[in-house]
Amino acid sequence: MLRRAAGEGIAPFVDLVYPPRCPACGEGTGEQGGLCAICWSDLAIPGNPSCASCQRPFGDSGPAEGAICAPCLGNPPVHDGIAAGTLYTDTSRKLVLALKHGRRIALAPLLARLIAARIPPCEEERLLIPVPLHRWRLWQRGFNQAALLARELGKAGCDRVVVDGLVRTKRTPILGGMGAKARAMVLGGAIAVRRPDAVKGRHILLVDDVLTSGATSTACVKALKRAGAKSVVIACFARVLDEALDHAR
């Protein structure tokens, strides 16, 4: 409490030296770490009705609650749901890049709050496990952005964080441009559960920054399910789902 009060006391001096600016566009804002009104309006928050399996937004004129989208009917997912804070837009892309490559780790609390708002309730304790980086990539970057988000979710009371629950056993190339089969082959055997006994029978929240094709998250979910996880819900900040953007805005 005293520490928080001290922080609030020096806040005006911090703002004087470092005027608060939007982390996405650089425009002035009312407080540190906040987005400007224009960038807030560009964030697309997934809504309902949505697919009961993957939470893909249907729009106001879509099917009734409990319906399954065509992609999930054609290829049932191995996960047990997707909790995406936002859909992938220009602003969410800038925030992810600023966190991941711009090393602006102070953005993690903001992104985590948006994720937390979309996570479904669960009566049992869940484990927050981040999508892992290979040790060489972790060494180059200095941090795992998914682990930062998982820690912030843990601080918000979203269950228990297990930062090293998953491990990348081999270094994989960038998956962009690869087809689904090629991605699956590259990721085959690349993800492992560090302690299978720790996840057996547990509900898992798999945390990542961006969900694109889903190849990496699928490999993680399969590894967790093989280890006996009861359920695995993917919790991410931004989900690439261009066809749903109009429904979310």
Task: Judge if 126 and 68 occupy the same domain.
Answer: yes
What is the full DSSP assignment across 161-215?
E-TTSEEE-S-----TT--HHHHHHHHTTTEEES-HHHHTT-EEEEEEEEESSSH
Q: How far apart are CA 169 and CA 171, in angstroms?
A: 7
**For 110, which DSSP code?**
H
Same domain membership, residue 11 and residue 134: no
Are 90 and 26 contained in the same domain? no
Contact 205/115 with Cβ under 8 angstroms? no
Say whether both 139 and 221 belong to one domain.
yes
Half-sphere exposure of 187 (CA within 13 A, CB side): 27
R_g of the chain, CA atoms, integer Å: 19
Domain coverage including residue 3? 1-41
**Helix (DSSP H) and strand (DSSP E) numbers for the chain:** 11, 7
How confident is the model over 94-153, as pLDDT tens digits?
999 999 988 899 999 999 999 999 998 888 889 999 999 988 888 888 899 999 999 999
Q: Are residues 20 and 139 in the same domain?
A: no
Looking at the structure, do residues 25 and 48 belong to the same domain, yes or no?
A: no
Residues 149 and 31 in one domain: no
pTM assigned to the model = 0.87
Say whether both 25 and 47 belong to one domain: no
What is the phi-psi region of residue 112: left when phi exceeds 0, alpha when psi lies from -120 to 50, beta otherwise? alpha
Low-confidence ranges of the chain (pLDDT < 50): 1-7, 11-14, 16-17
Instruction: Give pLDDT, residue 201.
Output: 96
Q: What is the CATH number of the domain that holds 125?
A: 3.40.50.2020
- In this structure, are 200 and 134 located in the same domain? yes
pLDDT score recorded for residue 8:
52
pLDDT at 14: 45
> Beta strand pairing status for 203-211 and 231-239?
parallel
Both 11 and 51 in one domain: the answer is: no
Domain count across the chain: 2
pLDDT at residue 127 in the model: 96
Q: Tell whether 52 and 129 lie within a shared domain.
A: yes
Q: Are residues 62 and 149 in the same domain?
A: yes
